[in-house]
Amino acid sequence: MPTDKRTVEAYNKNAKKWLERKGFGHSHLEKPAMYAALGDVKGKRILCLGCGAGEECAYFVARGATVVGVDISKSLIEKARHDVPEAVFHVMDIEKIPFPQSSFDIVYSSLVLHYLKDWTLVLEKVRSVLRPKGIFLFSTHHPAYWGAEKIETKDTVSIFLGFSRNRRTKRIVVSGDYIHARKIHDVWNGDFHVTYYHRPLSHLLRDIINSGLKLVDCIEPRPLLSAKKLNPSFFEQTDKLPLFIIFKLVK
């Protein structure tokens, strides 16, 4: 199932605002771990799925790779074409990529797959376009964090996954829902409306196993040490609680 129209509209309408707000979760947690997992990309042909405004594409081009980027947001692709003219970009649904078989050494996707209800189609496409021994590296929401209950007030944001039980009455109150897959409508940064899917780890692994690709690594990234001084609260949170999860697959 393709990305929800509401999410696509949000990215098209608020592309500039989104880029300004991406923040520490990208620069000091997820991206460094993704780049470290890939290593040297010189001479590689890379397909970026959900490339956004081309930040990763610019990184790969600067390190000697040939890059093709696709994203469903027209606004973000327009910016990518302007900012990274050395790469080729397409407005495209990542479940419908039309590239020839065995045409890429690496397929890379940063924080995109949680917008899909399941990964069957996109994994089939990735397996097709990868060359033998090619790598698919992608990050997504960590289900332990994003399956939790979020409670917001004017001054605080609280995330709860667990329960409390009254020893006398046996009454139990459960916060969050890790087990059940579901669509979540959310608002980020106060006014950015998105829709994504929560699925437990078992669902994610089942899709990977059924894809025919081999899982060779699973990373729960921790923040860069530099974040400890730059943003102490972010460091304290993400050094103990998983925000994202990264999978490395090989054809």
Q: Does the CA dihedral 41-25-250-92 come out positive or negative? A: negative
Instruction: Tell me the β-bridge partners of 247.
Output: 138, 218
The pair of structure tokens assigned to 117 is 């209800």
129: left (phi over 0), alpha (psi -120 to 50) or beta: alpha
Q: Residue 71 pLDDT more than 60?
A: yes
pLDDT on residue 25: 84
Exposure on the CB side of residue 12, measured as CA atoms within 13 A: 12
Integer Cα distance of 110 and 125 in angstroms:
17
Mean pLDDT of the chain: 91
Integer Cα distance of 25 and 30 in angstroms:
6
The pair of structure tokens assigned to 240 is 């103990």
Q: What percent of the chain has pLDDT over 90?
A: 81
The pair of structure tokens assigned to 229 is 């001084």
pLDDT on residue 1: 45
Please name the residue that has the structure tokens 């078989």: 101
pLDDT in tens, 159-170: 999 999 999 999
Q: What percent of the chain has pLDDT over 70?
A: 89
Mean pLDDT over 62-71 rounds to 98
pLDDT on residue 9: 56
What residue type is assigned to position 60 of the chain?
Answer: F
Virtual torsion, Cα 218, 216, 211, 5, nearest 10 deg: 30
Q: Residue 245 pLDDT more than 50?
A: yes
Q: Residue 83 pLDDT more than 50?
A: yes
pLDDT in tens, 86-103: 999 999 999 999 999 999
Q: Can you list the alpha helix ranges (DSSP code H) found in 94-133?
A: 120-129
Q: Which domains does the chain have, with CATH numbers?
A: 5-142+198-250 (3.40.50.150)
Residues 6+ apart with CB under 8 A from 114: 140, 141, 146, 196, 197, 198
pLDDT on residue 208: 98
Residues found in the chain? 251
The pair of structure tokens assigned to 245 is 């999860």
pLDDT in tens, 224-239: 999 999 999 999 999 9
Mean pLDDT over 118-138 rounds to 97
Residue 105: band (very low, low, confident or very high) from pLDDT cuts 50, 70, 90: very high
Which H/E stretch holds residue 76?
helix 74-83
Residues 6+ apart with CB under 8 A from 188: 21, 194
Residue 24: band (very low, low, confident or very high) from pLDDT cuts 50, 70, 90: confident
Q: Residue 175 pLDDT more than 60?
A: yes
Sheet holding 130-141, edge to edge: 88-91, 66-71, 45-49, 104-109, 130-141, 244-250, 214-219
> In this structure, are residues 150 and 158 in contact, taking their beta carbons and an 8 Å threshold?
yes
Residues 6+ apart with CB under 8 A from 202: none
